[in-house]
Amino acid sequence: MFHVFNASLSGRVDSIKNLGYIWHPKLEIYFIAAKETMKSGLLPRIMAYAGAVSIERTWREKGQDVNRKVNLSDISNIGKALNDGWVITFPQGTTTPFKPIRKGTAHIIKTFKPIVVPIVIDGFRRSFDKKGLRVKKKDILQSMEIKKPMDIDYDEETVDDIVKKIEYAIEQHKSFLKVMSLDQLKELEKNNIKRRF
């Protein structure tokens, strides 16, 4: 993601070749992650230093369902990160596709009124294991589509309205869950040829 963001900021379209943009990268990039995940091993601890905004999940901990109140210091930490730079959040809270969007994401949007840029990531789950470290299958083409900023009325729209907009924007609404025809698959394969690195 870091490479794609910096390549896009440097004016590159559909390419991360010629890594000259690395000399002047955008460094104010943060990501929201569960506190328990960021303490689960050496690599997550290193990643936590690279810009994690750790939060305590209110619905799950160590594989068990829990029900606890929102920690307000987590919300203020997200606000500080938004004031400093970009904040990446994974609104479903998981890599599993078509899971429901967490309402906390919509609450953050209503509270801080940021510019929301949806990103659609394709091919990651088929290529890597759940942790993203081990390759499951080779030759799966991956893409990351950065869409136009969402049009959100922060004062008038409800949390549920924002959740619905996010579902459509990141293509995780149930209407996107369909079987493709043979012609659509051929068209997709033509586009995959363009994405080869």
Boundaries of domain holding 29: 2-195
- pLDDT band per the 50, 70, 90 thresholds, residue 118: very high
What is the amino acid identity at position 130?
K
- pLDDT band per the 50, 70, 90 thresholds, residue 117: very high
pLDDT at 99 over 70: yes
What per-residue confidence (pLDDT) applies to 195?
60
What does the pLDDT look like over 40-92, one tens digit per residue? Answer: 778 778 877 888 888 877 767 666 777 778 778 888 888 999 999 889 888 88
pLDDT at 197 over 60: no
| DSSP annotation string for 54-108 | EE--SSEETTEE------HHHHHHHHHHHHHSEEE--TTSSSSTTPPPPHHHHHH
- Our CA angle for 108, 9, 188, nearest 5°, is 85
Instruction: Give CA torsion, residues 10, 23, 1, 32, to 10 deg.
Output: -110
What per-residue confidence (pLDDT) applies to 124?
75
Radius of gyration from C-alpha coordinates of the chain: 18
Structural domain tally of the chain? 1
Q: What's the pTM value of the predicted model, to 2 decimals?
A: 0.76
Q: How many CA atoms lie within 13 A of 14 on its CB side?
A: 7
Residue with tokens 């809270």: 93
- Is 16 or 114 the better-scoring residue by pLDDT? 114
- Is 130 or 84 the better-scoring residue by pLDDT? 84
- pLDDT band per the 50, 70, 90 thresholds, residue 109: very high
Taking the C-alpha atoms of residue 153 and residue 169, their distance in angstroms, rounded to an integer, is 15
Helices (H) and strands (E) counted in the chain, each on its own, are 8, 7
Average pLDDT over residues 106-111: 90
What per-residue confidence (pLDDT) applies to 95?
67
What per-residue confidence (pLDDT) applies to 126?
73
Q: Is-contact 90 100, C-beta < 8 A? A: no
Closest CA to 82 of 106, 116, 55, 56: 116
Average pLDDT over residues 165-174: 85
What per-residue confidence (pLDDT) applies to 151?
93
pLDDT at 150 over 80: yes
